[in-house]
Amino acid sequence: GDSVTQMEGPVTLSEEACLTINCTYTATGYPSLFWYVQYPGEGLQLLLKATKADDKGSNKGFEATYRKETTSFHLEKGSVQVSDSAVYFCALRPFQGAQKLVFGQGTRLTINP
Amino acid sequence: GAGVSQSPSNKVTEKGKDVELRCDPISGHTALYWYRQSLGQGLEFLIYFQGNSAPDKSGLPSDRFSAERTGGSVSTLTIQRTQQEDSAVYLCASSLVYRGGYTFGSGTRLTVV
Protein backbone atom coordinates (compact mmCIF):
# COMPACT_ATOMS: atom_id res chain seq x y z
CA GLY A 1 0.00 0.00 0.00
CA ASP A 2 0.89 3.66 -0.02
CA SER A 3 3.21 4.78 2.75
CA VAL A 4 5.59 7.52 3.86
CA THR A 5 8.78 7.04 5.83
CA GLN A 6 10.57 9.92 7.52
CA MET A 7 13.90 10.07 9.27
CA GLU A 8 13.52 9.46 12.95
CA GLY A 9 13.80 12.33 15.35
CA PRO A 10 14.34 14.18 17.39
CA VAL A 11 16.71 16.38 15.45
CA THR A 12 18.59 19.09 17.33
CA LEU A 13 20.59 21.77 15.55
CA SER A 14 22.17 25.09 16.30
CA GLU A 15 20.81 28.28 14.80
CA GLU A 16 22.03 28.94 11.24
CA ALA A 17 22.83 25.26 10.68
CA CYS A 18 21.83 23.49 7.49
CA LEU A 19 18.80 21.19 7.70
CA THR A 20 17.75 18.09 5.82
CA ILE A 21 14.83 15.90 6.89
CA ASN A 22 14.59 12.80 4.76
CA CYS A 23 11.30 11.52 3.40
CA THR A 24 10.74 8.57 1.11
CA TYR A 25 7.50 7.14 -0.14
CA THR A 26 5.86 4.19 -1.80
CA ALA A 27 2.85 4.70 -3.99
CA THR A 28 1.12 2.70 -6.68
CA GLY A 29 -0.08 5.76 -8.58
CA TYR A 30 1.30 9.21 -9.28
CA PRO A 31 1.15 10.93 -5.92
CA SER A 32 1.24 14.54 -4.87
CA LEU A 33 3.64 15.20 -2.02
CA PHE A 34 3.37 17.57 0.94
CA TRP A 35 5.25 18.83 3.95
CA TYR A 36 3.24 19.95 6.95
CA VAL A 37 4.57 21.72 10.04
CA GLN A 38 3.12 21.64 13.53
CA TYR A 39 4.32 24.39 15.87
CA PRO A 40 3.94 23.81 19.61
CA GLY A 41 0.31 23.93 20.67
CA GLU A 42 -0.99 24.41 17.15
CA GLY A 43 -2.54 22.34 14.39
CA LEU A 44 -0.73 21.20 11.29
CA GLN A 45 -0.08 23.80 8.61
CA LEU A 46 0.76 23.13 5.01
CA LEU A 47 4.38 24.18 4.45
CA LEU A 48 4.91 23.26 0.81
CA LYS A 49 3.81 20.81 -1.85
CA ALA A 50 4.74 19.33 -5.22
CA THR A 51 2.33 17.65 -7.58
CA LYS A 52 4.58 16.01 -10.18
CA ALA A 53 8.08 14.69 -10.68
CA ASP A 54 10.91 17.26 -10.58
CA ASP A 55 8.62 19.93 -9.12
CA LYS A 56 10.19 21.94 -6.30
CA GLY A 57 8.00 23.23 -3.50
CA SER A 58 9.28 26.15 -1.45
CA ASN A 59 8.09 28.33 1.41
CA LYS A 60 9.66 30.25 4.31
CA GLY A 61 13.15 29.29 3.15
CA PHE A 62 12.31 25.57 3.05
CA GLU A 63 12.53 23.56 -0.15
CA ALA A 64 11.73 20.03 -1.25
CA THR A 65 12.08 18.46 -4.69
CA TYR A 66 9.88 15.62 -5.92
CA ARG A 67 12.33 12.90 -6.99
CA LYS A 68 10.51 10.09 -8.72
CA GLU A 69 13.68 8.09 -9.43
CA THR A 70 14.52 7.87 -5.73
CA THR A 71 10.90 8.16 -4.50
CA SER A 72 11.97 10.94 -2.17
CA PHE A 73 10.84 14.39 -1.06
CA HIS A 74 13.52 15.57 1.37
CA LEU A 75 12.96 18.83 3.22
CA GLU A 76 15.88 21.27 3.22
CA LYS A 77 16.74 24.67 4.61
CA GLY A 78 20.06 26.40 4.36
CA SER A 79 20.01 28.29 7.65
CA VAL A 80 17.54 27.39 10.38
CA GLN A 81 16.18 29.68 13.06
CA VAL A 82 14.92 29.04 16.57
CA SER A 83 11.42 29.75 15.29
CA ASP A 84 11.68 26.70 13.00
CA SER A 85 11.44 24.41 16.03
CA ALA A 86 8.40 22.25 15.34
CA VAL A 87 7.29 18.80 14.22
CA TYR A 88 7.47 18.22 10.48
CA PHE A 89 5.27 15.72 8.66
CA CYS A 90 5.77 14.40 5.15
CA ALA A 91 2.59 13.28 3.40
CA LEU A 92 1.30 12.06 0.07
CA ARG A 93 -1.97 12.04 -1.79
CA PRO A 94 -1.79 8.71 -3.65
CA PHE A 95 -3.23 10.02 -6.91
CA GLN A 96 -5.19 12.97 -8.20
CA GLY A 97 -8.66 12.73 -6.81
CA ALA A 98 -7.66 10.49 -3.90
CA GLN A 99 -9.56 11.39 -0.81
CA LYS A 100 -7.04 10.79 1.94
CA LEU A 101 -3.56 11.97 2.71
CA VAL A 102 -1.09 9.41 4.03
CA PHE A 103 1.28 10.85 6.63
CA GLY A 104 4.70 9.93 7.88
CA GLN A 105 5.35 9.64 11.60
CA GLY A 106 6.69 13.16 11.97
CA THR A 107 10.14 14.49 12.84
CA ARG A 108 10.61 16.76 15.83
CA LEU A 109 13.11 19.54 15.16
CA THR A 110 14.63 21.67 17.90
CA ILE A 111 16.84 24.64 17.09
CA ASN A 112 19.06 25.98 19.85
CA PRO A 113 20.23 29.62 19.88
CA GLY B 1 -15.37 30.57 9.77
CA ALA B 2 -11.85 31.70 9.12
CA GLY B 3 -10.30 28.40 10.13
CA VAL B 4 -11.13 24.92 11.34
CA SER B 5 -12.37 25.11 14.91
CA GLN B 6 -12.25 22.18 17.31
CA SER B 7 -13.67 21.88 20.78
CA PRO B 8 -12.85 21.22 23.47
CA SER B 9 -9.13 21.85 23.18
CA ASN B 10 -8.47 19.53 26.11
CA LYS B 11 -10.60 16.76 27.58
CA VAL B 12 -9.83 14.54 30.55
CA THR B 13 -12.25 11.69 31.06
CA GLU B 14 -12.52 8.60 33.17
CA LYS B 15 -12.12 5.21 31.61
CA GLY B 16 -15.48 3.85 30.50
CA LYS B 17 -17.11 7.25 29.93
CA ASP B 18 -18.33 8.47 26.54
CA VAL B 19 -16.86 11.61 24.94
CA GLU B 20 -17.86 13.84 22.05
CA LEU B 21 -15.40 15.90 20.09
CA ARG B 22 -16.58 18.68 17.81
CA CYS B 23 -15.21 20.05 14.56
CA ASP B 24 -16.44 23.14 12.73
CA PRO B 25 -14.83 23.22 9.28
CA ILE B 26 -14.11 26.17 7.05
CA SER B 27 -17.31 27.45 5.53
CA GLY B 28 -17.86 25.94 2.09
CA HIS B 29 -15.35 23.12 2.49
CA THR B 30 -17.12 19.99 1.35
CA ALA B 31 -14.58 17.47 2.64
CA LEU B 32 -13.94 16.83 6.33
CA TYR B 33 -11.43 14.43 7.86
CA TRP B 34 -10.67 13.11 11.31
CA TYR B 35 -7.18 11.91 12.21
CA ARG B 36 -5.65 10.71 15.45
CA GLN B 37 -2.14 11.61 16.59
CA SER B 38 -0.82 9.39 19.34
CA LEU B 39 2.36 10.18 21.28
CA GLY B 40 5.37 9.45 19.11
CA GLN B 41 3.19 8.25 16.23
CA GLY B 42 2.20 9.71 12.91
CA LEU B 43 -1.27 10.72 11.94
CA GLU B 44 -3.76 7.87 11.79
CA PHE B 45 -6.72 8.35 9.47
CA LEU B 46 -10.07 7.75 11.13
CA ILE B 47 -12.94 8.88 8.92
CA TYR B 48 -13.72 11.07 5.92
CA PHE B 49 -16.86 12.92 4.85
CA GLN B 50 -17.44 14.33 1.37
CA GLY B 51 -20.64 16.21 0.66
CA ASN B 52 -23.68 13.97 0.85
CA SER B 53 -21.77 10.78 0.05
CA ALA B 54 -21.51 7.93 2.50
CA PRO B 55 -18.52 8.52 4.79
CA ASP B 56 -15.34 6.50 4.49
CA LYS B 57 -15.13 4.85 7.91
CA SER B 58 -12.27 2.53 7.06
CA GLY B 59 -9.92 4.02 9.64
CA LEU B 60 -12.12 3.77 12.71
CA PRO B 61 -10.25 1.47 15.12
CA SER B 62 -13.29 -0.13 16.74
CA ASP B 63 -17.07 0.05 16.92
CA ARG B 64 -16.70 2.29 19.97
CA PHE B 65 -15.82 5.07 17.54
CA SER B 66 -18.42 6.83 15.42
CA ALA B 67 -18.81 10.17 13.71
CA GLU B 68 -21.48 12.18 12.05
CA ARG B 69 -21.63 15.34 10.05
CA THR B 70 -24.80 17.36 10.23
CA GLY B 71 -25.96 19.55 7.38
CA GLY B 72 -22.67 19.09 5.58
CA SER B 73 -20.92 21.28 8.11
CA VAL B 74 -20.21 20.54 11.77
CA SER B 75 -18.94 17.08 12.65
CA THR B 76 -18.94 15.21 15.94
CA LEU B 77 -16.62 12.31 16.73
CA THR B 78 -17.97 10.10 19.53
CA ILE B 79 -15.95 7.60 21.50
CA GLN B 80 -17.96 5.28 23.69
CA ARG B 81 -16.63 3.48 26.76
CA THR B 82 -13.26 5.19 26.48
CA GLN B 83 -10.08 3.22 27.11
CA GLN B 84 -6.64 4.47 28.09
CA GLU B 85 -5.31 3.65 24.63
CA ASP B 86 -7.77 6.20 23.22
CA SER B 87 -5.63 8.96 24.74
CA ALA B 88 -4.32 11.04 21.84
CA VAL B 89 -4.75 14.30 19.99
CA TYR B 90 -7.72 14.13 17.65
CA LEU B 91 -7.28 16.36 14.62
CA CYS B 92 -9.95 17.53 12.24
CA ALA B 93 -9.22 18.93 8.79
CA SER B 94 -11.27 20.23 5.91
CA SER B 95 -10.63 20.85 2.25
CA LEU B 96 -12.41 22.29 -0.75
CA VAL B 97 -11.06 20.22 -3.60
CA TYR B 98 -9.14 16.98 -3.92
CA ARG B 99 -5.94 18.47 -5.29
CA GLY B 100 -4.88 20.70 -2.49
CA GLY B 101 -3.81 20.03 1.03
CA TYR B 102 -5.92 20.15 4.11
CA THR B 103 -6.56 22.93 6.61
CA PHE B 104 -6.25 21.49 10.10
CA GLY B 105 -7.76 22.53 13.38
CA SER B 106 -5.67 22.80 16.52
CA GLY B 107 -6.92 19.46 17.77
CA THR B 108 -8.51 18.07 20.90
CA ARG B 109 -6.14 16.48 23.38
CA LEU B 110 -7.99 13.57 24.98
CA THR B 111 -6.66 11.99 28.15
CA VAL B 112 -8.35 8.91 29.55
CA VAL B 113 -7.53 8.25 33.19
Q: What is the pLDDT of residues A30-71, one digit of tens each?
A: 899 999 999 988 889 999 999 999 999 999 999 999 999 999
Q: Is B60 on the interface with A (CB under 8 A)?
A: no
Considering chain B, what is the average pLDDT of its residues?
91
Look at residues B77, B64, B79 and name the one whose alpha carbon lies nearest to residue B7.
B77
| pLDDT mean over A1-12 | 90
Q: How far apart are CA A37 and CA B56, in angstroms?
A: 26
Q: Is A11 on the interface with B (CB under 8 A)?
A: no
Cβ separation A43–B42 shorter than 8 A: no
Cβ separation A100–B41 shorter than 8 A: no
Which of A:25-84 have CB within 8 Å of B?
Answer: 32, 34, 36, 41-46, 49, 51
